[in-house]
Structure 1
Amino acid sequence: MRIAVAKTGGVIAPHFGHSEGFDIFEVKENEILSTEFITSPEHRHGAMPLFLGEQNIHVLIAGGLGQNAVAKLSERGIEVISGISGHPTDAVRKYVEGSLSTTGVPCSGHDHNHDHHGGGGCGGHHGR
C-alpha cells in the first residue's frame, strides 16, 4: 500500500493544494517499509489528484482540501483522510494501527479561488 502525506515545512500541510510535496510511505502488513519525498507538481486545477493517481497512491493524508479535490481523488480510488496535523510518520503509524480517521470537513472557497489568504473555510487554517 502506498500512502501519501501532504507536507509543508516538515509537517502535514494545512492545505493539500498548497503543499510543498508529499512523503510517500510504502506500507506492507502494517509496517512502514520505506519513505520518499516527492515535490508537488505545478499548481493548476486538477493536477494534484492526477499526479497522485500516477504515483499509485492508495491513501492521502492532509490537513484540509476542497470538495472537488476529494471527489477527483475518490474517482481514482484514493482514500482521503483530512483534518490531520502533526508529523507525517506519526499520522501514517496511526492510520496503519487503525486509529486515524478524518476529523475535518472539506474546505470551501478553494476549488477555483486562488487568493487563499483571507478566509476560505479550510478548517480554520486560512485567515484566522
Structure 2
Amino acid sequence: SGPPGSLGSEFNARGGGTYAAEWEPSAKYIRTWFWPRGQEPVDLMQRRPDPALWGLPYSYFSLDPSVCSARHFANMRLVFDITFCGDLAGATFMRDCPEVASQMSCEEFVRHYPGVA
C-alpha cells in the first residue's frame, strides 16, 4: 500500500504520478515521496531535486547500525517491474476494463495495443 491514489485504478484514473526515493548512507536513512500527476515539486520538474523542500516523506527507513545494518544495502540494483497482467492487474482487468475484457484477455490487449498499456 502507499499514499492515496498512488497505485491501482485510482492511480490510473488520476493519470499517474511521480515517485522519488533518496538513499543517503551518510545520514543513515532512506526516504520516499509520492505526488499525484501535476502536483510534483517545481525543483523536481526542473531537474534540480532538493528533498529538503518536499515535506514529510511517505516512508522513512533508518539505516542506523542499531536498527538496520548497512550490510543489508550493499551491491544494490534498482529494478522496475511493470507487470500489466500479473497477479494484481490480471485479477482486476475484467472489472477495470469491462468493455475490452469482453473482447480479449489482458495479455491479448497488451500484445495488440502496446502503446495504450
Give the TM-score category using the shorter length: under 0.3
Compare the two structures and name the one with the higher strand fraction.
1
Greater Cα radius of gyration, structure 1 or 2: 2
Compare the two structures and name the one with the higher helix fraction.
2
- Provide the TM-score with structure 1 as the length reference: 0.22
- Provide the TM-score with structure 2 as the length reference: 0.24
